[in-house]
């Protein structure tokens, strides 16, 4: 990347496995990105509290640096936080309060607005309104992990290590026993329509598992919900499964924004079925894994069961691995190379 850049990195989550009761999907890719930036020669200081240590008891301070003051930096990098009523919108010190939003506001006020520090705002959850003035602030570049981001934003996908893709062996992955035909790993957030359209009716006819936070499981008593699971368990669930369905909120689907679930599944040899209404779906999975309804899901799982462990199965997973190329860390570092050295917004 050239000259070293001192990056102040703000995120609310974990670098390590963290705790079970958290929605932090960034654990699948945050450390990959940070380590990639450090390997490229950049200095990173984390600007939110060290939750790995305070909540998970995982001391990473020999390898990484946290500073909850206002250290000298060249670029501010924000994993964007948004108001969550009753949690980060309450007064400091109240029970259940988290200070991620207040801290982010302080960072913006000090670095971005007061000193004009170049700022990269990664809107990972598509929560920043298209009309927000921050999008028109000259020293802010907005990034989104989408193929078709909001006008003026830059695509910055969730990264997966090149070495992880290159080391994956389709023959070895498909030779593993896969006792669970269909799984879903993820939380309910804004996914009810997709869940009821693609997953639930198919799962009702197949052995399955649903891991994640779902508020009203009694409404679907025929499904097997196991609740949130420890982060390392995610890979184990996918390794036991033939297929998953990549369920997305509508705001993600419309922009071609894919979550980390795609590479978590594929690297474990679990075939990712993708709804056809996701924009740019053919860029994410082979055509044979695009589905239009729950009947398609059931038929695809049935076909996977027929070819399980065969050369055809291995070739399909090999195709899925090739579809992960857009997520390669090297590709995302190329994007950041340009932004770190020329961080003005792109028209």
pLDDT in tens, 306-338: 999 999 999 999 999 999 999 999 999 999 999
Angle, CA of 229, 231 and 237, to the nearest 5°? 65
Residue 344 has what pLDDT? 53
Do the beta carbons of residue 274 and residue 301 sit within 8 Å? no
Do the beta carbons of residue 73 and residue 7 sit within 8 Å? yes
Identify the segments of the chain with pLDDT beneath 50: 1-2, 345-347
pTM score, whole prediction: 0.95
Cα separation of 194 and 259, whole Å? 15
What is the length of the chain? Answer: 347
Provide Rg for the chain, Cα atoms: 20
Residue 216 has what pLDDT? 83
Residue 102 has what pLDDT? 97
The DSSP element (H or E) to which 271 belongs, if any, is: strand 271-275
Residue 342 has what pLDDT? 74
Cα separation of 6 and 26, whole Å? 21
Residue 46 CA to chain centroid, in angstroms? 19
Strand partners, 155: 144
Nearest by Cα to 201 from 220, 214, 188: 220
Q: How many CA atoms lie within 13 A of 64 on its CB side?
A: 26
Distances in whole angstroms, Cα of residue 109 to Cα of each of 11, 16, 69, 115: 17, 29, 13, 9
* Per-residue DSSP letter, 66: B
Residue 345 has what pLDDT? 44
For 125-188, the DSSP string reads TS-S-TT-GGGG-TTEEEEESBSSPSTT-EE-PPPB-HHHHHH--HHHHHHS---EEEEEES--
User: Would you call 63 helix, strand, or coil by DSSP?
Assistant: coil
Residue 116 CB: number of other CB atoms within 10 A?
Answer: 11
Distances in whole angstroms, Cα of residue 125 to Cα of each of 34, 146, 258, 292: 19, 10, 11, 25
Cα separation of 185 and 263, whole Å? 12
């Amino acid at each position: 990347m050239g000259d070293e850049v001192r990056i102040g990195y703000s995120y609310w989550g974990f670098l390590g496995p963290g705790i079970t009761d958290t929605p932090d999907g960034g654990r699948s890719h945050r450390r990959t990105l940070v380590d990639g930036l450090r390997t490229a020669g950049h200095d990173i200081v984390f600007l939110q509290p060290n939750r790995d240590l305070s909540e998970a008891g995982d001391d990473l301070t020999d390898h990484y640096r946290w500073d909850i003051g206002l250290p000298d930096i060249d670029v501010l990098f924000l994993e964007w936080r948004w108001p969550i009523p009753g949690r980060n919108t309450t007064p400091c010190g109240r029970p259940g309060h988290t200070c991620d939003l207040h801290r982010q506001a302080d960072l913006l006020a000090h670095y971005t607005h007061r000193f004009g520090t170049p700022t990269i705002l990664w809107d990972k959850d598509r929560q920043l309104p298209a009309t927000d003035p921050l999008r028109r602030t000259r020293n802010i570049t907005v990034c989104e992990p989408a193929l078709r981001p909001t006008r003026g934003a830059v695509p910055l996908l969730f990264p997966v290590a090149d070495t992880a893709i290159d080391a994956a062996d389709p023959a070895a992955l498909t030779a593993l026993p896969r006792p669970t035909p269909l799984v879903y790993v993820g939380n309910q957030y804004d996914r009810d329509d997709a869940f009821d359209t693609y997953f639930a009716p198919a799962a009702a006819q197949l052995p399955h598992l649903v891991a994640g936070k779902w508020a009203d499981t009694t409404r679907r008593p025929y499904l097997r919900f196991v609740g949130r699971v420890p982060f390392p368990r995610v890979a184990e669930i996918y390794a036991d499964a033939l297929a998953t369905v990549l369920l997305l909120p509508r705001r993600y689907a419309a922009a071609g924004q894919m979550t980390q679930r795609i590479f978590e599944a594929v690297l474990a040899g679990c075939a990712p079925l993708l709804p056809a209404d996701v924009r740019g779906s053919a860029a994410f999975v082979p055509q044979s894994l695009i589905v239009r309804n729950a009947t398609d899901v059931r038929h695809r799982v049935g076909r996977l069961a027929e070819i399980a462990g065969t050369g055809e199965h291995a070739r399909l997973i090999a195709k899925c691995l090739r579809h992960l190329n857009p997520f390669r860390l090297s590709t995302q570092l190329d994007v950041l190379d340009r932004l770190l050295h020329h961080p003005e917004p792109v028209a």
